Amino acid sequence: MAIAFQGVERFLKSFPDGRTAIGKPLLTKWYGVLEKVRKMNAMTDEACQKVDRLFSKHDYHSILLKGQAVGKYYPDPSVRMPGDIDIWPIKKAILNNSARVSRGDTTLLDDNRRELVAFVHQYKKDSYVQLHHMDFLPCGEVSVEVHFTPNVVFNYWNDRKIQSYFTKNLQRCTERLPVDVDVVFQLMHIRRHLIAEGMGLRQVVDLFWTLKSFGKETDEQKKQEVVSELKHIGLYDFARAMMWVEQEALGLEEEYLIVKPDPVRGAFVLNEIFEGGNFGHYDENYEIPDGSKLENLWAYSKQAFRCLRYFPQESIWNPLFRIRVWWWRKQNGYDKF
């Protein structure tokens, strides 16, 4: 809403009489929302610094993901509605092991995960361990998620490729995710939301500004390398769908499209956004029951099967992924938390 109001402000600069048409009560409400979002961003930025300092004291280097990290691509980061804090802390000793990192040795991420789980449980003993992240203590009013890797995908074989991709790019990510890695990461994140939980327009807007930055900062050779990577890790079809959504819904110029838009898959994705929204909040048919593991598995599977026609590989692996995570938690003793 704060982002939309920027368009209203530009309109009012060109047509001052528009204030009368909009009405003072609505304008006042909009200005109030804008100021609230800016204060929330300032609070979240401060919380990011506090969390970073805490992990730094324990020899971790933290990489900011999603949320506040995406704000750097916006013309005005203070108007993006902030969410929780997602950080990827990595032991400095691991970052210093450049030889193994350059070979894409995924055991580095496994070692880092084990240390992080133990560290987080010192502060939050009952934190549920997922395959790629777990909850940390909130920083003030801001929730914090600690990542062992930026993200995972449901397809086991593609996930192995993706973890290798993140590890190979680890040294480049030490300050922040490079824009090419961020494009890949955001496409992963959005597809995961679509298939498992429902996605909203905020993620679409995030990708819009990331693609803009990618197009301005990146040469043609690097763009082709990213396209090849998308094909290798199974994200190419979804990338084509999102290019159509970005162009159709937000008017992204053709020069910033990294692959050819797919109107069929894209129309399906856009419809899912309007029908369900982020985490399926607006979809009356989408509800994860608070019941047994089998009931939850069935509910998630139904959501995934809605996408089966358009993204079959990732959708069909969704229920298998949840069984895999259940077994992985049990093997590592994380089922006790």
Let me know if residue 35 belongs to a domain.
no
Biggest CA pair distance of the chain? 67
Let me know if residue 23 belongs to a domain.
no
**Is the dihedral angle over the CA atoms 281, 3, 236, 131 positive or is it negative?**
negative
**Is the dihedral angle over the CA atoms 258, 264, 267, 269 positive or is it negative?**
negative
Residue 282 is predicted with a pLDDT of: 47
Distance between first and last Cα of the chain: 38
Let me know if residue 269 belongs to a domain.
yes
Rounded Cα distance, 127 and 118, in Å: 11
Task: Divide the 337 residues of the chain into consecutive groups of 10 and give the mean pLDDT of each group.
Answer: 68 67 76 88 94 94 91 90 92 78 73 92 92 93 94 93 90 87 95 84 93 89 93 96 95 95 95 69 52 61 78 87 89 82
Give residue 260's identity as a one-letter amino acid code.
Answer: K
Residue 256 is predicted with a pLDDT of: 95
- Name the residue range of residue 205's domain: 178-326
Let me know if residue 4 belongs to a domain.
no
Q: Are the CB atoms for 186 and 257 separated by under 8 Å?
A: no
Rounded Cα distance, 139 and 308, in Å: 39
Let me know if residue 29 belongs to a domain.
no
Residue 334 is predicted with a pLDDT of: 87
The 10 Å Cβ neighbour count of residue 188 is: 22
Q: What is the pTM of this model?
A: 0.88
Residue 165 is predicted with a pLDDT of: 92
Let me know if residue 303 belongs to a domain.
yes
The H or E element spanning position 60 is strand 60-65
Let me know if residue 40 belongs to a domain.
no
Let me know if residue 142 belongs to a domain.
no
Question: Going by DSSP bridges, is the β-strand pair 85-91/142-147 parallel, antiparallel, or unpaired?
Answer: parallel
As beta bridge partners, residue 142 has 139
Closest Cα to residue 303, out of 201, 204, 193? 193
Token duo for residue 25: 């009560």
Count of the separate structural domains present in the chain: 1
